[in-house]
Amino acid sequence: MSEIDNHLSKKYDVHKRLGKGAYGIVWKAKSRRSGRIVAIKKIFDAFRNRTDAQRTFREIIFLKEFNNHPNIIRLLNVHKADNDRDLYLVFEYMSTDLHHVIRKGNILRDIHKEYIMYQLFQATAYIHSGNVIHRDQKPSNILLDSECRCKIADFGLARSLSSTELEENQDCLTDYVATRWYRAPEILLGYQKYTKGVDMKIHTMDQIEHIARLLGNSQLLKLKKICSSQTAQLVGKMISKHSVSKWSSTIKEKYPEGIDLLQKLLLVTPDDRITAPEAIKHKYVTKFFIIKNMTTTSTTMSFRHSMTMFSSRWISIDVNYMISLKVIKQTKGCEKLAHAFFREEILSQIDGAINYGYPHS
């Protein structure tokens, strides 16, 4: 295969191309040494400019740091290209991504939705515990396997919130981060500070007018906390033109726990939103909760100067929280049920390219 270098072909048997974009190509392959099925992402001219170099470096460093979490995609290897410009990243292989599942229509059972959300909260809590924010959590960056296990991918837009960056003089938030239709309202409205709440705003707000419909006049003061005065005045004018819509009136009442979780995730100001550790214990996903699965990383990273990782250690949290053996058995039963249903009913209906990061953009 001419698109892949000879030294990679000697290590991997390439099965098929999964996708191609302006930035690179992704293949499904098999390791000739271990027999493991992998995904190989080739990044074209990975260090062509400062922005691309930083994005490539961030993805490698963050994935290396978070490599052992079950809900974060594993980076298995990195290979240089023969031309010294391109770069190959080798990942564990995943069957599909959430974008393709959603496009198939309403094929997910409730247990699938709950299990996927729970795993996303687990991964996000882990990332946030290291003072890192992903900034681009969207369906195509959420990979799924045949057991309905999900993993967050593409850390190219992630950034650290190190101790120095958390101080008053931290860098301003870049308003162009995150894919357009999945940006949090504070990004759309020009908020000038980074917070972990960016990752918790997982529901798309596809236009500022939509935000206005959700606010109402009583929320205008909160709005001023996350945007400039000029933007607040603009959205304030929109508020007066629209009645406030309530999630409880637009979503079936048979899902009260889901409605409650959505409302907590969709709060306009990031500081008011539910956090990932809190969301893990929410009633909507609590059937999957096992305390021993909750881990954090105390990680300090900074790309401001030398792009060097300074420290890393892994610790467990909430060790005093007691869970009975009965609850643990019930939880494992729910996971097995989700695995079986997903494999038999969902995955057989999915086709199309799988996203392993920005080469598909």
Per residue in 269-279, pLDDT tens? 778 889 999 99
Does residue 312 lie within any of the structural domains?
yes
pLDDT-derived band of residue 183, with 50, 70 and 90 as boundaries? low
- Regarding whether 148 and 173 lie in a shared domain, the answer is yes
Last residue of a domain, one of 76, 92, 108: 92
The residue with tokens 């949090």 is: 184
Does residue 262 lie within any of the structural domains?
no
- How does DSSP assign 245-296, residue by residue? P-HHHHS-TT-HHHHHHHHHHS-SSGGGSPPHHHHHTSTTTGGG--GGG-EE
- Regarding whether 201 and 52 lie in a shared domain, the answer is no
- Regarding whether 63 and 119 lie in a shared domain, the answer is no
Last residue of a domain, one of 92, 112, 131: 92
Does residue 213 lie within any of the structural domains?
no
Over the stretch 307-353, which tens digit does the pLDDT of each residue have? 443 233 222 222 222 223 333 344 555 666 666 555 555 566 665 55
Nearest-angstrom CA–CA distance, 264 and 246: 13
Is the separation of the CB atoms in 296 and 125 below 8 Å? yes
Candidates 5, 86, 97, 136; catalytic one: 136
Q: What crossing angle do the helices spanning 325-341 and 110-129 adopt, rounded to 10°?
A: 120
Amino acid at 335: E
Domain that holds residue 33: 11-92
206: tokens are: 């596809």
Does residue 254 lie within any of the structural domains?
no
Nearest-angstrom CA–CA distance, 331 and 147: 15
Q: Does 264 belong to an annotated binding site?
A: no
Contacts of 346 (CB under 8 A, 6+ apart): 101, 107, 108, 112, 148
- Regarding whether 138 and 69 lie in a shared domain, the answer is no
User: What was the pLDDT predicted at 290?
Assistant: 75
- Regarding whether 178 and 280 lie in a shared domain, the answer is yes
Average pLDDT, stretch 187-200? 67
User: What was the pLDDT predicted at 89?
Assistant: 95
Last residue of a domain, one of 45, 63, 92: 92
CATH number of the domain to which 31 belongs: 3.30.200.20
- Regarding whether 72 and 116 lie in a shared domain, the answer is no
Is 318 annotated as catalytic? no
Q: Please tell me the total count of domains within the chain.
A: 2
The mean predicted confidence, pLDDT, of the chain is 72
- Regarding whether 105 and 66 lie in a shared domain, the answer is no
User: What was the pLDDT predicted at 151?
Assistant: 96
- Regarding whether 328 and 192 lie in a shared domain, the answer is yes
User: What was the pLDDT predicted at 303?
Assistant: 43
Does residue 225 lie within any of the structural domains?
no
